[in-house]
A and B are shown apart, each in its own frame.
Chain A
Amino acid sequence: KQEVTQIPAALSVPEGENLVLNCSFTDSAIYNLQWFRQDPGKGLTSLLLIQSSQREQTSGRLNASLDKSSGRSTLYIAASQPGDSATYLCAVAGNQFYFGTGTSLTVIP
């Protein structure tokens, strides 16, 4: 069974700092990896989708990379803002979607 791990579980940074969130998975036979943002009490908002044949995807201040062979993905957030405070989840698509437990990010003004 695919296991998806996100470390750290929580992260606190000052505003303006660049940061990296990590996602690792145990089975490299995936179709894609997707990063989501979840605000407290809300649903999941899709941030980036990386297909298994791709190495990275970018959207604004966000950049996600995928190294399928090593079972790792990173989400890079540039120039963090208080509005980036949320929980960030990664999910891999194999025979079904498997989710990590998320990293709770707090950006301090």
Chain B
Amino acid sequence: NAGVTQTPKFQVLKTGQSMTLQCAQDMNHEYMSWYRQDPGMGLRLIHYSVGAGITDQGEVPNGYNVSRSTTEDFPLRLLSAAPSQTSVYFCASSYGQLGLYNEQFFGPGTRLTVL
């Protein structure tokens, strides 16, 4: 198993550009989520999904969109990048729709810089 994979590893954008961060898992996990990690603030939840076709907002959803067309993939879209979105982005997954009950597995992260 590859576990949770994320692409790209690094990305530099200019203000106003859009892009999609990719996340995939091969563990047949229903629950998937996106976090951002900023110095001194810990990880904060952006969006999550409890299964294909179902998504919901987390703590800091503004400026981001998600969709879940398959169990395996959960892409995160930045609509119009801003310097405040410079961060490290992590995707995570866990077993079952009640993913909160179960162990989370994390991808290696995408380091995004917005100029």
- Point out residues on A near B: beta carbons under 8 Å: 4, 31-32, 34, 36, 42-46, 49, 51, 89, 91, 93-97, 99-102
Flag if A31 contacts B101 (CB, 8 Å).
Answer: yes
Flag if B40 contacts A101 (CB, 8 Å).
Answer: yes
What are some 10 contacts across the A-B interface (CB < 8 A)?
A32-B101, A42-B108, A42-B109, A43-B90, A51-B101, A96-B48, A96-B58, A97-B33, A97-B104, A99-B44
The answer to whether A43 and B107 touch (CB under 8 A), given A93-B101, A96-B48, is yes
- Point out residues on B near A: beta carbons under 8 Å: 33, 35, 40-45, 48, 58-59, 90, 92, 100-109
Flag if B103 contacts A46 (CB, 8 Å).
Answer: yes
Distance, CA A91 to CA B90, complexed state (A): 14
B107: nearest chain-A partner, CB-CB: A43
Contacts of B45 in A (CB 8 A): 96-97
Point out which of B48, B92, B100, B105 has the most chain A C-beta atoms below 10 A from its C-beta. B100
Flag if B43 contacts A99 (CB, 8 Å).
Answer: yes
Q: How far is the CB of A46 from chain B (nearest CB, A)?
A: 6
Flag if A93 contacts B100 (CB, 8 Å).
Answer: yes
| A/B pair count, beta carbons within 8 Å | 54
The answer to whether A34 and B109 touch (CB under 8 A), given A101-B40, A102-B42, is no
Q: How far is the CB of A16 from chain B (nearest CB, A)?
A: 30
- Starting from the known contacts A99-B35, A99-B44, A101-B40, 8 additional A-B residue pairs (CB-CB under 8 Å) come to A31-B100, A32-B101, A43-B90, A46-B103, A49-B102, A49-B103, A93-B100, A101-B41
Contacts of B92 in A (CB 8 A): 44
Distance, CA A99 to CA B36, complexed state (A): 11
Contacts of A36 in B (CB 8 A): 106
Of A32, A42, A51, A101, which contacts B42 at CB under 8 A?
A101
Flag if A96 contacts B59 (CB, 8 Å).
Answer: yes
B111: nearest chain-A partner, CB-CB: A41
